[in-house]
Amino acid sequence: MEGKILFRKYETERLLGEGTFGKVYKARSLETGETVAIKVINKELVNKLSMEKQIKREISTMSLLKHPNIVEIKEVMASKTHIYLVMEYLGGGDLYTSILQQGKLNENLARKYFHQLIRAVDFCHSRGVCHRDLKLENILLDNNKETLKLCDFGLATLPGQEQGKADGLLCTPCGAFAYMAPEIIRGDKYDGKKADIWSCGVILYSLVAGFPPFQDENRMRMLWKIRIAKYEFPPWFSREIKQLIGKILVSVPWERITMEGIIDSPWFRRHEYERDHNPFEPSLSSNSVEVGLPCFSSVSFNAFDFILSMASGLDLSGLFGTQKGKLSSTFVSKCPMMEVTKAVERMAERLKLLVRGGKGSKRLVLVEEKVGRKGRLVVGVSVFEVAPEVNVVEFSRWAGDSVEYMKLMEEEVRPAVEGVAWKWQGDWVHGRGSEVGSGTCHGICFCI
């Protein structure tokens, strides 16, 4: 296949890997010059093994899931003998090979990868998809080994598949033994999301230990260890990571930690890591926006200086660790923090927005029930105390259409929080606000 022109669109280069149904090649788009990966699937072999449904499932699932930490499928082509899946190319190899080459990771790097893994799996679950084959080999890295992406959705469940049964549970055993949840080993019906969470725990353990938690030369003994969740921690594991893994690798599925619990765990949210890396963007089921947003201190930043910065129209996103290019809106309030958070909660209730986060929390995620042009609109809300008399509230779009976000903010959110909002960022610059201290605001500034 090396050097072959496919459909006058792609030129294949070298072989990247080989699977059950075919091979994966590095290729180049003749039109744009973009480097891609092309999975070449042998139709005859697929028909012989009666795996048509699995191939269709992989194509359908990857087309459904558009996310920064999931490999993108760009195009599907076919000839009489082969199916060609054109996918995003990642040059860093898979995590399994990376661990083999460099050994165990330090906890900060493991946390960075685990953040991205949870982000991807949580997104899948929010779309009704369970991966069911999570393992180090199915996690790819980019050239700089900074970003990871999930791949291989051949065993995934699509919304309405199998879960359509009365109890909503799955019954088909899936995945590699080392990552398989105890309930699947036991032959029980299982919740696909709970099984995925177990696999994430095995992956986290393997990243920090350099080896899997249930390794054993005897296959039956290894399966017995998985069934009863028997494993030990190496001495270099921190107390917080032991606590988190101990809540994930629980043999009874309904006692296993939820995705929201993982996101809210101390190890996952440790601020030493958050200060040095990009923030975690919660998906629909995320319970808090606090991950990735370091606490703001008023010690080195006077409240008066802050108000002047707001008035100047400066982009304040750097103060809060938010990402450049993220659509956000910020206002200042002179009300107590509890009053501000309650006002946001009342606003969400009135607008029929789903709220993720505890009552009175300084970090909330608001989710629209209806599905928009680009999926559900997800808005993060963070309240920062910059001085005893001044609180700053930041709204930011985590997912969904930008136009729908701006319409929601301008037409719904701003009027709903008018009672606690003193000034919005940019009001003075555009001449749309009233005098300082008037308690009203009429404009909005979007830092794009």
In which element (H, E) is residue 345 found? Answer: helix 337-350
Contacts of 308 (CB under 8 A, 6+ apart): none
Q: Which long-range contacts does 438-447 make (Cβ < 8 Å, 24+ apart)?
A: 441/331, 441/414, 444/329, 444/409, 444/410, 444/414, 445/313, 445/329, 445/330, 446/327, 446/328, 446/329, 446/406, 447/315, 447/316, 447/317, 447/326, 447/327, 447/328, 447/329, 447/330
Q: Are 90 and 44 in contact (CB under 8 A)?
A: no
Whether 133 sits among the annotated catalytic residues: the reply is yes
Identify the sign of the CA torsion 67, 71, 74, 76: negative
Q: Which of 94, 122, 133, 196 is catalytic?
A: 133
Q: Which two tokens stand for residue 173?
A: 């055993």
What are φ and ψ of residue 205, in 5° steps? Answer: -55, -45
Give whole-number Cα distances, 56 to 25, 46, 236, 239, 329, in Å.
20, 11, 44, 44, 42
Q: Enter the tokens of residue 438.
A: 């008037």
Active site residues: 133
